[in-house]
């Protein structure tokens, strides 16, 4: 390739070719007898002799060591007779050192037919470096899995490596001289050529540019990462550009899968926060539907078996029997008539054994319908009209998941896709099943609580235990003394939680009379039900707070603790209640600073927990305000008296309980609940 020829004044200069300039190819001409006739500036740079010293000299005498001269003369004779010779030969530099020189020699004839010898020479070390670089480049280009293409300044293919031939599905001969759009019409040709023009114009590389499409090498849609670099020679002349192409389909799929996994974890975390905030069955169902839409489905329905809603014994659905469901929640991610095709909330519906919802509870496993057809739609919808409505709404994929908790199927979560064009797949099933499993536990907790609460409502008021439960390792004494005027809502309880673990509760419902006693009974029963779930004290109080809020204007204070004799500790949480008193076997007593909490029924504030050490002989006193409060003096005085009395308790807890009541409330105008617990020595 010739350099660009430019004219400046009287001189005509040519920009040197990049490769020749790098090699510094030198020329020397010997006449018929071996004298130097021509001596180029490059040979002067290579060997150090200026032209005035070299011209006219015998080449072998000036440049060749004596031991090599005979060999040179033989080669000279061969070339003069018309042969060519190429190789490396040592020549003497002007400084006395030897230089390995790469030679290409040939015979030239002048106008009179006299032979001359032309030698083209360059530094052999430079040639070896160039050869090494070329070999390395050739090896990399031809063996790399990276597709490489070279384009000229007109954006036409100049060459491609084998990897890009495989990606394109075309040999190099089929693309050279053509534009991208002529070879790969299914790619975004405009975007690709715009990038190429930008790189040619600015010289700034573009890296990791994404292209998605099909080539002749693969009919499937693939993802490619493309990087563009401008090609220049050593003098900065733009020769074209190179493009490197990497198939990143698998990498993108992996990234997509990672993103989906993170999304699933986010959805599950959201489900953990939003589902089960109360022990209300219908509210829990609404929360479940609200999480399923839009995270998993466009439409969701929660149907619970009627036996669960009615607090009856749950019996498995047999193979040929229908199932009765109560619709508790329906949710849609957008305004759609499909929501009316679901069973109205609160309505009882009976589905035959062939219906998918019945199949789901009967088999206790998910049913995934990837593509809904007319026959399947009739097994999904409650009737023909509902099937038509779901069809018109665009329902194309469906999934029913059992709400399974503690070995019992409680109902189903039905999921529909309409505007989301992707059908449900296995990943959707796994995610939805996890959400359903978490929700089922909350629904079962609500069921257990609901059953206990129904019993409490039937009784209208709960009765205090006739005697506190006996617990190994603990001495327990409890007293309830009603007010002289009317009964209030104070209560206490001792709750067996398992080996070495005991729940302690004392509460006080604000108000008097039958209503306060009824609320007390409900809260006491709820506490027992919640304790069976083995909830931490703060979480138990949070659920009690929700329950109290559902009882109208009910307000109550409560302290709940879990004593664990296995580790000698007690965890306490308080809902606006007076502080417990902890007395040691050594005669010290103090008020326990439990993190403050608002009374039950107020809501909106979290409850804290304090951990106490209970070494042998520790005495813990829980009580209501009726023990320490009276109209004649501030409550601090009563608390001081209680603390002082517990520094020197009676030998038995029963006598201690009596002594406290006699000293503090001989004739109470408010009811009193007192619970004393001492760890045995």
Summarised one tens digit per residue, pLDDT across range 41-94 is 989 998 999 999 999 999 899 999 999 999 989 988 898 888 998 888 899 999
- In the chain (681 residues long), the average pLDDT of successive 10-residue segments reads 38 48 82 91 91 91 91 89 89 90 88 88 81 69 82 93 89 92 91 95 93 85 92 87 90 80 82 85 93 91 92 84 92 86 88 93 94 93 90 93 93 94 92 92 87 50 60 90 69 91 94 77 91 93 93 91 94 96 93 90 90 94 92 87 94 93 80 92 73
Summarised one tens digit per residue, pLDDT across range 110-130 is 888 889 999 888 887 877 787
Can you give the pLDDT at residue 1?
A: 33
Q: Is residue 24 part of a domain?
A: yes
Summarised one tens digit per residue, pLDDT across range 315-339 is 888 878 899 999 999 999 888 888 8
Are residues 317 and 445 located together in one domain of the fold? yes
The span from the CA of 601 to the CA of 599, in Å, is 6
Give the contacts of 373 (CB within 8 A, at least 6 positions apart): none
The span from the CA of 291 to the CA of 288, in Å, is 5
Q: Is residue 262 part of a domain?
A: no
The span from the CA of 511 to the CA of 491, in Å, is 13
Give the contacts of 82 (CB within 8 A, at least 6 positions apart): 107
Instruction: Name the CA radius of gyration of the chain, rounded.
Output: 47
Q: Is residue 271 part of a domain?
A: no
Are residues 426 and 284 located together in one domain of the fold? yes
Q: Which two tokens stand for residue 83?
A: 């042969």
Are residues 507 and 581 located together in one domain of the fold? yes
Return the sign of the alpha-carbon dihedral for residues 416, 419, 421, 427: negative
Can you give the pLDDT at residue 206?
A: 94
The span from the CA of 172 to the CA of 193, in Å, is 19
The span from the CA of 163 to the CA of 167, in Å, is 6
238 burial (CB, 10 Å; 0-12 / 13-18 / 19+) is middle
CA–CA distances in Å: residue 65 to residues 50, 61, 75, 321, 424: 19, 8, 15, 112, 86
Q: Is residue 272 part of a domain?
A: no
Q: Which two tokens stand for residue 117?
A: 């010898």
The span from the CA of 625 to the CA of 620, in Å, is 16
Q: Are 44 and 123 in contact (CB under 8 A)?
A: no
Q: Is residue 265 part of a domain?
A: no
Are residues 488 and 605 located together in one domain of the fold? yes
Q: Are 432 and 401 in contact (CB under 8 A)?
A: yes
Can you give the pLDDT at residue 253?
A: 83
Are residues 555 and 600 located together in one domain of the fold? yes
Burial pattern 300-321, b for ≥16 Cβ within 10 A else e, equals bbbbbbbbbbebeeeeebeeee
Are residues 427 and 356 located together in one domain of the fold? yes
Q: Which two tokens stand for residue 56?
A: 């006219």
Q: Is residue 270 part of a domain?
A: no
Can you give the pLDDT at residue 150?
A: 93
Q: For 143, phi and psi rounded to 5 degrees?
A: -105, -15
Q: Is residue 501 part of a domain?
A: yes
Q: What is the domain count for the chain?
A: 4
Q: Which two tokens stand for residue 271?
A: 């489900």
Q: Are 509 and 489 in contact (CB under 8 A)?
A: yes
Can you give the pLDDT at residue 379?
A: 93
Are residues 486 and 383 located together in one domain of the fold? no
CA–CA distances in Å: residue 543 to residues 116, 304, 606, 622: 109, 22, 11, 21
Give the contacts of 342 (CB within 8 A, at least 6 positions apart): 299, 301, 327, 330, 386, 414
Domain end position, chosen among 230, 247, 264: 247
Q: Which two tokens stand for residue 61?
A: 């005498």
The span from the CA of 348 to the CA of 382, in Å, is 12
Q: For 371, phi and psi rounded to 5 degrees?
A: -125, 120
- For the residues of 572-593, what is the DSSP string, one character each? EEEESPPPPEEE-TTS-EEE--
Are residues 643 and 517 located together in one domain of the fold? yes
Three-class secondary structure of residue 229 per DSSP:
strand
Q: Is residue 324 part of a domain?
A: yes
Host domain of residue 591: 461-679
Question: For position 346, which CATH number holds?
Answer: 3.30.450.40
Are residues 538 and 575 located together in one domain of the fold? yes
Question: For position 242, which CATH number holds?
Answer: 3.30.450.20
Can you give the pLDDT at residue 454?
A: 58
Are residues 555 and 416 located together in one domain of the fold? no
The span from the CA of 194 to the CA of 11, in Å, is 40
Question: For position 626, which CATH number holds?
Answer: 3.60.40.10
Are residues 548 and 523 located together in one domain of the fold? yes
Can you give the pLDDT at residue 14?
A: 44
11 burial (CB, 10 Å; 0-12 / 13-18 / 19+) is exposed
Domain end position, chosen among 67, 99, 128: 128
Domain end position, chosen among 202, 230, 247: 247
Q: Are 285 and 302 in contact (CB under 8 A)?
A: yes
Can you give the pLDDT at residue 18?
A: 54
Nearest to 622 by CA among 464, 531, 504: 504
Are residues 309 and 161 located together in one domain of the fold? no
Mark out the alpha helices in 184-276 (DSSP H runs).
Answer: 189-202, 249-274
Q: Which two tokens stand for residue 668?
A: 């109470």
């Amino acid at each position: 390739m010739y350099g660009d020829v430019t004219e400046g004044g009287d001189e005509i200069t040519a920009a040197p070719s990049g490769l020749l300039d790098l090699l510094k190819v030198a020329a020397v001409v010997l006449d018929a007898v071996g004298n130097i006739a021509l001596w180029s500036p490059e040979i002067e740079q290579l060997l150090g002799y200026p032209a005035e010293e070299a011209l006219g000299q015998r080449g072998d005498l000036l440049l060749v060591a004596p031991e090599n001269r005979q060999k040179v003369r033989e080669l000279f004779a061969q070339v003069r007779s018309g042969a060519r010779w190429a190789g490396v030969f040592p020549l003497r530099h002007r400084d006395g050192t030897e230089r390995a020189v790469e030679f290409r020699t040939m015979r030239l004839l002048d106008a009179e037919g006299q032979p001359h010898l032309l030698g083209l020479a360059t530094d052999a070390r430079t040639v070896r470096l160039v050869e090494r670089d070329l070999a390395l480049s050739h090896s990399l280009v031809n063996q790399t899995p990276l597709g490489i293409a070279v384009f000229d300044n007109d954006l036409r293919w100049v060459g491609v490596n084998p990897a890009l031939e495989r990606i394109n599905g075309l040999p190099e001969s089929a693309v050279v001289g053509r534009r991208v759009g002529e070879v790969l019409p299914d790619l975004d040709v405009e975007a690709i050529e715009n990038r190429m023009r930008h790189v040619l114009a600015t010289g700034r590389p573009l890296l990791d540019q994404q292209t998605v499409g099909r080539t002749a090498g693969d009919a499937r849609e693939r993802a490619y990462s493309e990087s563009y670099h401008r090609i220049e020679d050593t003098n900065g002349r733009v020769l074209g550009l190179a493009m490197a192409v990497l198939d990143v389909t698998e990498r993108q799929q992996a990234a997509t899968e990672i993103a989906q996994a993170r999304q699933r974890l986010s959805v599950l975390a959201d489900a953990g926060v939003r589902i089960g905030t109360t022990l209300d069955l219908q509210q829990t169902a609404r929360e479940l539907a609200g999480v399923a839409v839009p995270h998993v489905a466009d439409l969701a329905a929660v149907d619970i078996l009627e036996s669960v809603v009615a607090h009856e014994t749950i019996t498995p659905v047999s193979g040929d029997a229908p199932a009765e469901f109560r619709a508790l929640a329906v949710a849609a991610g957008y305004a759609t008539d499909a929501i009316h095709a679901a069973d109205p909330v609160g309505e009882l519906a009976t589905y035959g054994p062939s219906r998918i919802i019945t199949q789901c509870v009967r088999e206790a496993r998910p049913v995934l319908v990837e593509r809904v057809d007319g026959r399947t739609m009739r097994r999904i919808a409650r009737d023909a009209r509902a099937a038509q409505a779901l069809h018109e709404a665009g329902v194309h994929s469906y999934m029913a998941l059992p709400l399974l908790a503690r070995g019992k199927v409680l109902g189903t979560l039905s999921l529909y896709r309409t505007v989301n064009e992707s059908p449900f797949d296995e990943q959707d099933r796994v995610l939805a099943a996890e959400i359903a499993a978490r929700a089922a536990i909350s629904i079962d907790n609500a069921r257990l609580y609901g059953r206990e609460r129904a019993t409490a409502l039937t009784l209208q008021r709960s009765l205090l235990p006739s005697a506190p439960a006996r617990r190994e390792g603990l001495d327990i004494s409890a007293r309830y003394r009603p007010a002289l005027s009317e009964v209030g809502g104070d209560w206490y309880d001792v709750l067996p939680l398992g080996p070495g673990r005991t729940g302690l509760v004392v509460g006080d419902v604000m108000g008097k009379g039958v209503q306060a006693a009824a609320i007390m009974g409900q809260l006491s029963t709820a506490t027992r039900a919640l304790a069976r779930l083995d909830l931490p004290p703060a979480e138990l109080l949070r659920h009690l707070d929700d329950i109290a809020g559902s009882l109208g204007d009910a307000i109550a204070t409560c302290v709940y603790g879990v004593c664990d004799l296995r580790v000698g500790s007690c965890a306490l949480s308080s809902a606006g209640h007076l502080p417990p008193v902890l007395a040691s076997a050594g005669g010290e007593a103090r008020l326990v600073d439990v993190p403050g909490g608002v009374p039950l029924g107020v809501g909106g504030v979290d409850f804290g927990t304090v951990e106490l050490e209970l070494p042998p002989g520790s005495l813990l006193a829980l009580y209501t305000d009726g023990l320490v409060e009276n109209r004649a003096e501030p409550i601090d005085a009563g608390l001081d008296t209680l603390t002082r009395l517990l520094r020197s308790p009676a030998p038995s807890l029963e006598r201690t309980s009596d002594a406290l009541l006699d000293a503090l409330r001989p004739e109470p105008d408010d009811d009193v609940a007192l619970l004393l617990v001492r760890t045995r020595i």
